[in-house]
Amino acid sequence: MEVQVFFAAIVQNGFRLLVAIAHLFPMDTIKEIKCVEILDTTLRDGAQGEGISFSVQDKLAIARTLDELGVRWIEAGNPGSNPKDMEFFRLASKLRLEHAELAAFGSTRKKGVPAAEDAQVRSLLAANTNAAVIFGKSWDVHVTEVLRVSLDENLAMIGETIEFLKKNNRTVIFDAEHFFDGYAANPHYALSTLRTALVSGADRLVLCDTNGGAFPDSIARVVEETLAALGEETREAGNSLRAKLGVHLHNDGGMATASTLMAIKAGCSHIQGTLLGFGERCGNAALAEIIPGIELKLKRRCIAEGKLEMLFSTARKVAEISNVAVPDSMPYIGASAFSHKAGMHADGILKVSRSFEHIEPHTVGNSRRFLMSEVGGRSAIAERVKKIDPGVTKDHPAIAAVAAKLKALEAEGWQFEGADGSFEIMARQELGKYQPLFSIEDYRVVSEHSARGVAAYCHAWAKVLVDGQQEIAAAEGDGPVNALDGALRGALKRFYPQLSQVRLTDYKVRVIDGKDATAAKVRVLIESTDGVLTWTTVGVSTDIIDASHMALVDAIEYKIISDIERRFKAYL
């Protein structure tokens, strides 16, 4: 009798009552999803980010890199929008991907055009991928005011496009664009777009926060209500929910990561985002933040087993190809994610790692760093110095000497927390484990300018001495620092050919005390890489060229010393 009353109430009061009652019942069968699949849209939505421009070869390299990480889907572009994407799909058909499948992206058919005759829809077939991602409008305002079609015509556009792709044996992922705004304005219509996609054969239903402003609790609530509505509908027909539910969230409110994880807890098993979070406007949900949350916090598999430790290196490879920097403060994979500066923090970490770290850095391929500064303690300094001399403890006399030198130099404007390379060279000097590998006998930098608007002309020469042998080299450059860098490495490459691998990736100048105006000291930070290691060095002077020279010399020495020690360890 109670069951009859329950269903009678549903029939009488409709969907809203169903949702309210659904909240009273456990949803363990929905929420206990053991596996979450990842769709990375770096090559499509990420390419819409400001300053991002991929060549075809860039896209192929990123696709291979994402496959190595073990994501399930790679949304690789819109073949109907430009020839470059179509060329990518032609070449990508030869890729031998181990874990991921490529998906082509496009919209539903145009108004009044059969799906089979729509050029954009047909380009999805020409892309020759097993999967297609189709976006359709789910907010009635967009349907009537942007597309300017009737609500029924929009549903027909969604349904007929999906049916056509399914007849051509494609896995179809339906992105319900603006779903959360549409659901707030007209839940009945927003859900009808999903029902249409479901009945037409869609394999994935993806709820999109295209404006990126929804709060995490709102995302979770709508996911639960959507699952309740679609689940009940399919159960009445004697079936289970046939399509995975997913989310595609933008980060305009700074909440995309939190909202994505909340959506998973609410029942989603398909997640979309870009690895580093770049994309349209403020970007997409950052998968490099989300993947560890799923695997380490929610205890669910989302990438290939054993691949989580590749996250740090994968993120940097994608960043390098994309010509962007991984933000130091980015959770899990940023350079500062496991960096400790305060002495109390460093001491706590060395005793109990979980006291100031929520996960072990190595689980995502990152590493712990102790930042060297005047507020750091001897424990942190000793831990860093162990790289040079494993037998050193915080009570070693050299540690006190390093700490005193550190404080004295910082009082003069030096800063070592972001200059690991220079700190290591300074520590070696205090430990008596430093031997100059070369000396610069002389150098000169010339910068010529014309009042007639002719481009500046910069050149430099340097004279070096290595094991009693002298070498002189000159170089031109785009600016005096670039010219000096070329001259120094040109003079040294006969003795240390590995310097040809080194390039500068960042250059920062900071005025230390502005009261002295143009006579003020400046601090120069230079970041260098050899394609494997990245290190930063510092120089301070009232002369910007002299400060740059100090940082460049440290950068070169650090590279040579690192190579010598690497070869020595390999020999042992």
Query: Could you say which DSSP state residue 171 is in?
Result: E
236 has pLDDT over 90: no
| Tokens 């391929």, residue located | 365
pLDDT digits (tens, 9 = 90+) for 150-202: 999 999 999 999 999 999 999 999 999 999 999 999 999 999 999 999 999 99
Nearest-angstrom CA–CA distance, 185 and 137: 13
Mean pLDDT of 333-345: 77
3-class secondary structure, 509: strand
Identity at 409, one-letter amino acid code: L
Q: Per-residue pLDDT for 1 more than 70? A: no
Give the span between the Cα atoms of 299 and 297, in whole angstroms: 5
- Which is higher by pLDDT, 10 or 548? 548
Question: What is the spatial distance between Cα 422 and Cα 554, in angstroms, rounded to a whole number?
Answer: 6
Could you count the other beta carbons within 10 Å of the beta carbon of residue 34? 8
pLDDT, tens digit, 9 for 90 and up, residues 41-74: 999 999 999 999 999 999 999 999 999 999 999 9
**Average confidence score pLDDT of the chain:** 87
Residue 400 has pLDDT above 70, yes or no: yes
For the residues 474-481, what does the mean pLDDT come to? 91
Candidates 448, 457, 460, 525; CA nearest to 486 is 460
Other Cβ atoms within 10 Å of 387 Cβ, number: 12
Range from 212-221, 323-332, 380-389, 533-542 carrying the lowest mean pLDDT: 380-389
Show me where the domains of the chain are located.
Answer: 33-322, 339-431, 439-571
What is the pLDDT, as a whole number, of residue 349?
A: 67
Give the model's pLDDT for residue 452.
Answer: 63
Q: Of 108, 171, 113, 105, which is closest to residue 136 (Cα–Cα)?
A: 108
Whole-angstrom distance between the N-terminal and C-terminal Cα of the chain? 80
Tell me what the mean pLDDT of segment 10-37 comes to: 49
Q: How far apart (Å, rounded) are the C-alpha atoms in residues 432 and 429?
A: 5
**439-571 belongs to which homologous superfamily?**
Alpha-isopropylmalate synthase LeuA, regulatory domain (3.30.160.270)
Residue 439 has pLDDT above 50, yes or no: yes
Question: For 33-322, which CATH superfamily applies?
Answer: Aldolase class I (3.20.20.70)
The two three-digit tokens of residue 228, written as one number: 């309740």
- Close Cβ partners of 382 (under 8 Å, ≥ 6 residues apart): 392, 393, 394, 396, 399
What single string gives the DSSP state of each residue in 522-534? EEEEEEEE-SS-E
Q: How many CA atoms lie within 13 A of 440 on its CB side?
A: 22
Confidence label for 111 from pLDDT (cuts 50, 70 and 90): very high
- pLDDT value at 22 more than 60: no
Place of tokens 């000169």: 444
Q: Check residue 17 and give its pLDDT.
A: 42
Cα 230 vs. chain centroid, distance in angstroms?
Answer: 34
Give pLDDT, residue 347.
Answer: 62
What is the reported pTM?
0.71
Judged by average pLDDT, the poorest of 338-347, 419-428, 541-550 is 338-347
pLDDT beyond 90 at 570? no
Order of all β-strands in the sheet with 522-529: 503-511, 522-529, 534-541
- Higher-pLDDT residue of 513, 361: 361
Express each pLDDT in 446-456 by its tens digit.
988 766 666 66
Average pLDDT over residues 101-120: 97
pLDDT tens digits along 490-505? 999 999 999 999 988 8
Segment 403-438, tens digit of pLDDT: 888 778 878 888 787 788 898 898 888 888 888 899
What was the pLDDT predicted at 58?
Answer: 94
- pLDDT, average across residues 529-558: 92
Confidence of residue 352 (pLDDT cuts 50, 70, 90): low
Rg (Cα) of the chain, in Å, rounded?
Answer: 29
pLDDT given at position 344: 64
The label of the residue with tokens 């860039």 reads 58
Q: Which of 37, 57, 47 is nearest to 284 (CA)?
A: 47
Query: Which pLDDT score is estimated for 180?
Result: 98
Instruction: Identify the band that residue 565 occupies on the pLDDT scale cut at 50, 70 and 90.
Output: confident
What mean pLDDT is predicted for residues 447-476?
A: 85
Q: Note the pLDDT tens digit of each residue in 257-313.
A: 999 999 999 999 999 999 999 999 999 999 999 999 999 999 999 999 999 999 999
Element (H, E) at 460: strand 457-466
Q: Residue 385 above 90 pLDDT?
A: no
pLDDT bracket for residue 243 (50, 70, 90): confident
